[in-house]
Amino acid sequence: MPKILPLHRITRFTRFTRFSLRDFIVAAGPAALAVLVTGLLAYWLVDPAPPKKIVMATGQENSAYEALGRRYAEALRQYDVELELRPTLGSRENLERLRQPDSGVDVGFVQSGSTAQEDAQRNGLVSLGSLFTEPVWLFTRKDVTRLSQLKGMRINVGPEGTGLPGLFRTILSVNGVEPDSLRLRDMQNTPATVALLEGRIDGLVFSSSPDAPLIQMLLQTPGIRLFDFAQAQAYTRRFPFLTHVTLPRGIVDLGRDIPSRDFQLIAPTATLVAHESLHPALVDLLVQTAASVHGGAGWFQKQGEFPTASYSEIPVAEAAVRFYQGDKPFLQRYLPFWLANFLQRMWVVVVALGALIIPLSRIIPPLYVWKVRSRVYRWYGQLREVEQAVDEAQATDRAEVYGRQLQRLNEIEERVNRISIPLSFADELYGLRSHINFVRRRLLALMPQAGRAAQQ
């Protein structure tokens, strides 16, 4: 069993070390404080931490946008990010809120074709990617094969905030149908669906993904007919923001063969739009969430086809472009979101500290040496005072002066013997002690002479 040293021997042993932690702390303390303050300023000011709350503009009640907003909120909750959902009339209102910096909205769903590239850049808007196609669904109570047959009918196109009224008017105009020849309504989706089922209107128009509950219900309701855009390819040539999609036969219900044939539809795409001030880390997180929500196969898309940087007239954010190119942040592949983000942001701190650490690394060692040696050198000042007092003593009182200085010299030696100094500087301490003895020998040699002089 190893022998344990007594406490007093351990204490005595620790006094004789090659390094003085106390002196190092005193020498490096101001520099360390400067580095710490600079690091904190760089951390909070140069690249602030991403907020833990995002505000998203969604859509109407029972709309696909509202359902998707809930899925996004649930997905972001696992990263400790709160997603506040704000219901709106739809795409156009979402776009207006994003244009207003004081609206508090950070991100929202917007249909393609809602704004021009120049307008988006002027208002500081960026796309996080196209998410899915939103077919234009025209449901009627009568068989309609051409849009010109809608003249005189009561058709609900939804409130202006949805963006669909403008799109549908454009579709009517290229078919030679004046919007004034229809009795257009502006009810929201749910009351408009009830009105259609009760016969108070003749048709209604949606622009939504097939996941919307109202779309699912109307596709399976007897007596409600879906309009077939037989000229879908021509629409996509006239309007680049539209795509041609096919609703396959039996996709709604294979057993009941609903629908009983293929339907051709035209579709803008839903885009996730944010303000350019949104933190890049949150852009990464939202794009990753979009990939998990929209990356599967659907009625109108193949596995992995969405989300994508295509089909958007709004410039795509750089962080989103990197993601779609397969360049997911390295640390986020292996670490939790907040830890990966913290380590990524620490590079900013390292750069900020580099300008301080390199020069300080050259200053601190000399300061440390000076601090240790100052505990020895300051006694040389008192030795010099003793010698000066001896040299300036008058002949009549030299014996008294010499005695007083000898006592003072003994006190200096006693205090010097209590100095704790690293072993690497021991030569400085022993040199001081030898110089004290030198002054003592000189003083003792002068004292008999002073005594004889006093007697004469």
Dist. CA 270–CA 136, nearest whole Å: 12
> Bridge-partner residues for 225, per DSSP?
140
The beta strand positions in 38-181, using DSSP E, are 53-57, 82-86, 107-111, 125-133, 136-140, 154-156
The beta strand positions in 222-354, using DSSP E, are 225-226, 243-247, 263-267, 269-275
> Which of 329 and 443 is assigned the larger pLDDT?
443
- Which letter does DSSP use for residue 315 in this model? P
Mean per-residue pLDDT for 165-188? 91
Dist. CA 129–CA 310, nearest whole Å: 7
Residue 74 — pLDDT band, cuts 50, 70, 90?
very high
Helix (H, G, I), strand (E, B) or coil at 86: strand
Mean per-residue pLDDT for 197-224? 90
pLDDT score of 23 more than 80: no
Name the strands in the sheet holding 203-207, side by side, starting at the edge strand that comes first in the sequence.
183-185, 154-156, 203-207, 136-140, 225-226
Measured CA to CA in angstroms, residue 228 lies from 125, 137, 164, 252 at distances of 35, 9, 18, 16
Lowest mean pLDDT among 11-15, 41-45, 184-188: 11-15
pLDDT in tens, 76-135: 999 889 999 999 988 889 999 999 988 999 999 998 877 777 888 888 999 999 998 889
Peptide bond into 259 cis (omega under 30): yes
Average pLDDT, the chain: 83
pTM of the full predicted structure? 0.62
Residue 163 — pLDDT band, cuts 50, 70, 90?
confident
Residue 10 — pLDDT band, cuts 50, 70, 90?
very low
Instruction: Tell me the residue type at 281.
Output: A
Measured CA to CA in angstroms, residue 409 lies from 175, 429, 441, 444 at distances of 114, 16, 11, 11
Lowest mean pLDDT among 104-108, 257-261, 355-359, 445-449: 355-359
pLDDT score of 455 more than 50: no
Mean per-residue pLDDT for 402-423? 85
pLDDT score of 3 more than 90: no
First to last CA, the chain: 73
Residue 456 — pLDDT band, cuts 50, 70, 90?
very low
Lowest mean pLDDT among 120-124, 235-239, 443-447: 443-447
pLDDT in tens, 345-379: 666 666 666 666 777 667 767 777 777 778 788 88
